[in-house]
């Protein structure tokens, strides 16, 4: 993740993003993971010389990285995205601090699951498919993927704040999809988020994605099952609750009434009234993004 805290520090990135061709290159790398320069030029209908400067700008900004490999026609330059997420802070007030924790997707503190459902580690299925009893198995904490058709997963986020700290924002970054038998790329599901049982809002997952192997999936993972999800950034701050920058509710960080002695319990569940297409959450050994559930707490330090 590229996190720009000061606008001036992001000047090279902003310049890199000011070109429509460079935006198209980034979109191609998002779709194909990696491409050599010949492939990029061909897909854009341009010459190699025409894209060389654009590739250089993207590399200098840190948005992409380049490696070399020996191909049929000599040395090739392979381009790929350097980071999956870019955030920019436009306004700062007071002294702001942040801490981040990464929680394994199987390390939930409470759950309810109904078939189709299951868990798997990097090595094997935990128990058996479609048996909710195994969601209580001690091995669950090592799970790299969890899926269910109905129910929820709740995670306890550590609260490290002190008396002179004030909650500013909560962020959750996770790879999610729906849950269909096998997989179904067109299988909407309304996924509900809450903190301490206060509903934050709903995001509709468009499908349970398969047909091509997830980047991080172990070799034994069956090809007829779901393979990857979408990386989502959920933010709760003084302006409301947002998914990838889009407002999904007017619930603010102040509505959560958090303080230094309070648990922070983050729940992800399948809507009971909307499109109930299930839920899958991917950890670092599954899907396309090498991460588990990332939680960030941003806070102000109140000077005494």
CATH code at position 36: 1.10.10.10
pLDDT at 9 over 80: no
SS percent in the chain: helix, strand, coil, step 5: 20, 40, 40
**Backbone dihedral angles phi then psi of residue 30, each to the nearest 5 degrees:** -65, -40
Write out the residue range of the structural domain in which residue 36 sits. Answer: 2-81
pLDDT at 3 over 60: yes
Q: Looking at 181-185, 280-284, 285-289, 298-302, which range is the least confident one?
A: 298-302
Q: Do 109 and 223 have their domain in common? A: yes
Q: Do 77 and 99 have their domain in common? A: no
pLDDT digits (tens, 9 = 90+) for 119-141: 999 999 999 999 999 999 999 99
Q: What pLDDT, on a 0 to 100 scale, did the predictor assign at position 77? A: 86
pLDDT digits (tens, 9 = 90+) for 186-229: 999 999 999 999 999 999 999 999 999 999 999 999 999 999 99
Q: Of 40, 58, 81, which residue is a domain's last?
A: 81
29 and 113 in contact (C-beta within 8 Å)? no
Q: Do 35 and 163 have their domain in common? A: no
Helix (H) / strand (E) containing 56: helix 48-61
pLDDT at 6 over 80: no
269 in any annotated domain: yes
Q: Do 70 and 117 have their domain in common? A: no
pLDDT at 265 over 60: yes
Give the confidence band of 291 by pLDDT, cuts at 50, 70, 90: very high
pLDDT at 71 over 70: no
Q: Which tokens is 248 given?
A: 């999904």
242 in any annotated domain: yes
Q: Do 65 and 122 have their domain in common? A: no
Question: How many domains, the chain?
Answer: 2
Q: Do 76 and 117 have their domain in common? A: no
Look over the chain and give the mean of its residue pLDDT values, rounded to a whole number. 92
Q: Mean pLDDT, to the nearest integer, of 60-80?
A: 83
Q: Of 31, 60, 81, which residue is a domain's last?
A: 81
Q: Do 34 and 77 have their domain in common? A: yes
Q: Do 158 and 30 have their domain in common? A: no
86 in any annotated domain: no
Query: How many angstroms separate the CA atoms of 289 and 279, rounded?
Result: 17
pTM higher than 0.95 for the full model? no
Q: Mean pLDDT, to the nearest integer, of 95-123?
A: 94
291 in any annotated domain: yes
201 in any annotated domain: yes
Q: Of 19, 46, 81, which residue is a domain's last?
A: 81
Q: Do 119 and 260 have their domain in common? A: yes
Q: Do 171 and 27 have their domain in common? A: no
Q: Do 102 and 185 have their domain in common? A: yes
The CATH number for 271's domain is 2.60.120.260
Q: What pLDDT, on a 0 to 100 scale, did the predictor assign at position 266? A: 98
Q: What pLDDT, on a 0 to 100 scale, did the predictor assign at position 2? A: 81
Q: Exposure of 154 by Cβ count < 10 A (0-12 exposed, 13-18 middle, 19+ buried)?
A: middle
Residues 6+ apart with CB under 8 A from 267: 110, 152, 153, 154, 155, 192, 193, 194, 195, 197
Q: Do 27 and 138 have their domain in common? A: no
């Amino acid at each position: 993740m590229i996190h720009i805290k000061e606008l001036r520090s992001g000047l090279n990135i902003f310049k890199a993003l000011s070109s429509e061709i460079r935006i198209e290159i980034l979109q191609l790398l998002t779709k194909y993971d990696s491409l050599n320069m010949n492939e990029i030029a061909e897909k854009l209908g341009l010459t190699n010389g025409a894209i060389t400067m654009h590739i250089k700008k993207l590399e200098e900004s840190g948005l992409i990285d380049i490696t070399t490999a020996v191909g049929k026609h000599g040395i090739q330059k392979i381009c790929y995205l350097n980071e999956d997420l870019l955030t920019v802070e436009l306004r700062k007030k007071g002294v702001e601090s942040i801490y981040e924790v990464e929680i394994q997707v199987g390390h939930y503190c409470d759950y309810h699951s109904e078939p189709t459902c299951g868990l798997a580690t990097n090595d094997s299925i935990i128990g058996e498919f479609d048996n909710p009893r195994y969601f209580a198995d001690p091995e669950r904490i090592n799970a790299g993927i969890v899926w269910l058709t109905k129910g929820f997963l709740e995670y306890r986020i550590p609260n490290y704040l002190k008396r002179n700290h004030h909650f500013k924002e909560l962020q959750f970054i996770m790879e999610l999809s729906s849950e269909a038998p096998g997989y179904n790329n067109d299988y909407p599901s309304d996924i509900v988020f809450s903190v301490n049982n206060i509903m934050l809002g709903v995001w509709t997952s468009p499908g349970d994605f398969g047909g091509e192997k997830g980047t991080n999936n172990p070799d034994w993972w069956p090809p007829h099952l779901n393979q990857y999800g979408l990386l989502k950034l959920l933010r709760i701050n003084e302006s409301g609750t947002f998914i990838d920058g889009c407002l999904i509710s007017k619930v603010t960080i102040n509505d959560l009434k958090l303080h230094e002695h309070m648990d922070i319990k983050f729940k992800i569940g399948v809507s009971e009234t909307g499109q109930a297409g299930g839920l899958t959450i991917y950890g670092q050994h599954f899907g396309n993004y090498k991460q588990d559930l990332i939680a960030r707490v941003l806070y102000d330090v109140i000077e005494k």
